[in-house]
Amino acid sequence: MTSETITYQELAKRLDSVFLFNKAPELDPELYYEGLVNGSLWESDDETDENVKDIFQWYLISPNDADYLKGHTDELIFYSNVLDEYLWGITHIGASWDDVYLDFKD
């Protein structure tokens, strides 16, 4: 498997639909801990470490986009039973998406 480094802006262009929905954790309080289906919430590889990643923005995504992200990235993807929706948790803040990079696995 090969990988490339792309920006979040490029990744978002590859998705079908991305809608900002920061109310998700208010509507589904268990989402953060019970809804994770991809990625790791821990800052380090040691899951006994209590330092978890902060999520600054939540985006609604389609099931196809969730599968795409799960198959090609380590991005935080959640499924909410309450909302019956997939969500993408963004862990960076204050930078334009064309200035933030991630590894994309082909």
Query: Residue 20 pLDDT more than 90?
Result: yes
**87 falls within a domain:** yes
**104 falls within a domain:** no
In this prediction, residue 49 carries a pLDDT of 63
The closest of 64, 67, 66 to 86, measured between CA atoms, is 66
**105 falls within a domain:** no
Query: Residue 102 pLDDT more than 80?
Result: yes
Task: Quote the mean pLDDT of the chain.
Answer: 93
Query: Residue 103 pLDDT more than 80?
Result: yes
The closest of 86, 92, 102, 90 to 36, measured between CA atoms, is 86
**102 falls within a domain:** no
**38 falls within a domain:** yes
Buried residues in 79-105 as b, exposed as e (16+ CB within 10 A): bbeebebbbbbbeeeeeeeeebebebe
**64 falls within a domain:** yes
Q: Please count the structural domains in the chain.
A: 1
Query: Residue 10 pLDDT more than 80?
Result: yes
**48 falls within a domain:** no
Q: Tell me the whole-structure pTM to 2 decimals.
A: 0.91
**11 falls within a domain:** yes
| Domain coverage including residue 66 | 3-42+53-93
Query: Residue 46 pLDDT more than 70?
Result: no
* Percent of residues, the chain, with pLDDT higher than 70: 94
